[in-house]
Structure 1
């Protein structure tokens, strides 16, 4: 510490030397600061008692004594005097204590220290009060800078390591690798919500320039944040602007309604439609779940269903009928006579979507109900099956599904 004020009278408030008074009050003031930390900051209340009364109390004492030295010499402290605070900030980062809580703790200590040394001040103490306060503010600026830098440096290292571990764990799960190949720093969850997503395009992604990339990253980040909040920890994700895969660690299978609500929240957060398929499996079943979910999302998208969350039971008939084979081709061929007349295919699909209601079908197609009747009769003549006959409906539905599966 550099002394720029040798021979200068000590700072005095209420008739007492400020530095000496603060040193004498360090033990009792430390206890009161620690009590306030545990009462006012929940993060510190959750730390082990021996850590708060040990390491944390030591830091409080160190700060008070260091500030007493600053006041005695009326000069800033040298860099090496902040090594303890830097080490403490790094340790708190490793423990996951939020930076805002740490800085709040330092500010609380400064507030209580100021109240202690300024108590009983008289108007004649104004000059010394002002200088003492100036030293306190400079000391706090230095503390905040040193502590924040050490915390963020450690956090960055930890984030890189955790990101690498999560990426390695996800790669191992997607590949179906056995547990011994998992990264040492990452433990698999007992269960995962395996989710495959198709993300709609945000309007900002259609604008020229760098805004497209920014909008895509923002969309992905908001979806990721929604999943992290649901899981209570960072979810394992591989997402780009069009969608991808997410593995959400869970201890017990969530209710399907909760997963549907999760996808709805992700869609609102990203401000885009989200189509997804999900299943809850153990780590070893992740590859098969991803493969099946991918097929479900492709099927849902191809058949024009509304966005939202789907499972196999929601598309069971479509899924089965989308399997390749001679039967699938034969079913699709049933509708081939309608291909030269696109309006007939459109009428047939709309008629089925409207539960065979000719008036609602006419409204949806913007035609007269008599036109619908005529087209239904024409469809029956061409394919030999009538949507008005209950016995023919399953084959017509199956033919439409098969046609969508293999294309016209």
Structure 2
């Protein structure tokens, strides 16, 4: 890099000036990316702050280090650029936008140095930055393409094939041998309801990019928990994950709570999961049960977390299709013409029959609560405050919710 340098101190001088103005250069590059590249303008704010700005800073420091020493860019710096490009590929950022970001950064640096150096030294600065840009673009392109190939590569195809075989109950031993998959004694199946990240709902953010980022974080956390790529199928709103276990019943409650807490923290969204375990040959049955348990937890508005059948035995049974469920739901039909009654009933039962708490939460007088409870009793023939009436109405609400379908996961 020094062969065109008429003054051996010029490289270090350029490096010092870049580092001294690094925050300003970093801010200008980020601002111009947002202004000139639509895809960056619609990235989640968290991604701009944590990834794009960090990559910009590391890129500038790497170039400055090379200018200071006169040596090629360090291997660690090149590896960082590859890893960054791989993340952009996984998030679906177009490669042309990724490469253009580096050219834009180089242009900002050229413009800056053009104001700092005498005219006879500007040519050296341009050549030095062009050399760094050539190396950077090569690393970025390689890292991006490697990740894209990996997404559809043999390993991913093998996991997809194995997951499909387990879920349809195919000859999984044969499929495992063909794909080179080592089957564990059992799988813990998690059926996930994934909350919506706040960035997915913002008009000034690309919701699809935010959703892919969320999915990537959940998948990475699952892989971290198990120490290997997990068999999983994830979308923005739900997912299925098979966690290998040698003894799925050992300390499962505490371990499950930790897993769900880690997943929710990694993606910064609430996650509700139904869990069921079984040997590889019974994964299809476990997946169906896990989905039912998840839906039951959502119908009964349980807080985010992990649930097994044992946690929701009564609720699960109340929501099973059949004549009894239909008759229970029909008990509430007389309330349909009175929109204030059903919410009051639901809240009254959730609050443990505390009429004052209901009044406070609905911003009404306790006497109004009493009036509505009397109306519910008159219309349904069941008194909410009575032991039998309260139990029956609780079951009727569960049946009504189950018949209507589960609500979607909450927004973070």
Both proteins in one fold, TM over 0.5: yes
What is the distance in 2 between the residues matched to 1:227 and 1:366? Answer: 43
| Cα offsets for 1:185-218 (capped at 9, x unmatched) | 1121111110011111112222458832221111
Aligned residue pair count? 262
Q: Are residue 280 (structure 1) and residue 273 (structure 2) matched?
A: no
In the alignment, which residue of structure 1 is the partner of 2:334?
337
In the alignment, which residue of structure 1 is the partner of 2:161?
168
What is the distance in 2 between the residues matched to 1:252 and 1:260? Answer: 17
CA contact (8 A) 2:162 2:179 kept: no
Q: Secondary structure at the match of 1:355?
A: coil
Q: Secondary structure at the match of 1:252?
A: coil
Match of 1:365 among 362, 367, 382: 362
Alignment of 1:103-252 (within 5 A): 160-178=153-171, 179-182=173-176, 183-208=178-203, 211-252=206-247
| Cα offsets for 1:311-367 (capped at 9, x unmatched) | 112222222122222211111111111111121111111011100111111111111
Distance 1:255-1:299 versus aligned 2 partners, 3 A rule: closer
Gaps of 5+ in 2: 1-137, 406-412
In the alignment, which residue of structure 1 is the partner of 2:32?
none
Distance 1:249-1:345 versus aligned 2 partners, 3 A rule: same
| Cα offsets for 1:267-299 (capped at 9, x unmatched) | 111011111111221111111111122222223
What is the distance in 1 between the residues matched to 2:160 and 2:392? Answer: 47
What is the distance in 2 between the residues matched to 1:397 and 1:356? Answer: 12
CA contact (8 A) 1:231 1:250 kept: no
In the alignment, which residue of structure 2 is the partner of 1:291?
288
CA contact (8 A) 2:275 2:293 kept: no
What is the distance in 2 between the residues matched to 1:206 and 1:158? Answer: 27
Distance 1:276-1:157 versus aligned 2 partners, 3 A rule: closer
CA RMSD of aligned residues (A): 2.9
Match of 1:349 among 343, 346, 350: 346
In the alignment, which residue of structure 2 is the partner of 1:319?
316
Distance 1:386-1:234 versus aligned 2 partners, 3 A rule: same
In the alignment, which residue of structure 2 is the partner of 1:301?
298
CA contact (8 A) 1:332 1:399 kept: yes
1:231: Cα distance to partner?
A: 1.0
Distance 1:239-1:299 versus aligned 2 partners, 3 A rule: same
In the alignment, which residue of structure 2 is the partner of 1:392?
389
Higher relative contact order (CA 8 A, sep 6+): 2
1:159: Cα distance to partner?
A: 9.2
What is the distance in 1 between the residues matched to 2:237 and 2:343? Answer: 28
CA contact (8 A) 1:169 1:188 kept: no
Distance 1:298-1:158 versus aligned 2 partners, 3 A rule: closer
1:301: Cα distance to partner?
A: 2.4
| Cα offsets for 1:23-59 (capped at 9, x unmatched) | xxxxxxxxxxxxxxxxxxxxxxxxxxxxxxxxxxxxx
Greater Cα shift, 342-351 or 310-319: 310-319
Gaps of 5+ in 1: 1-144
Match of 1:270 among 267, 271, 284: 267
Q: Are residue 382 (structure 1) and residue 375 (structure 2) matched?
A: no
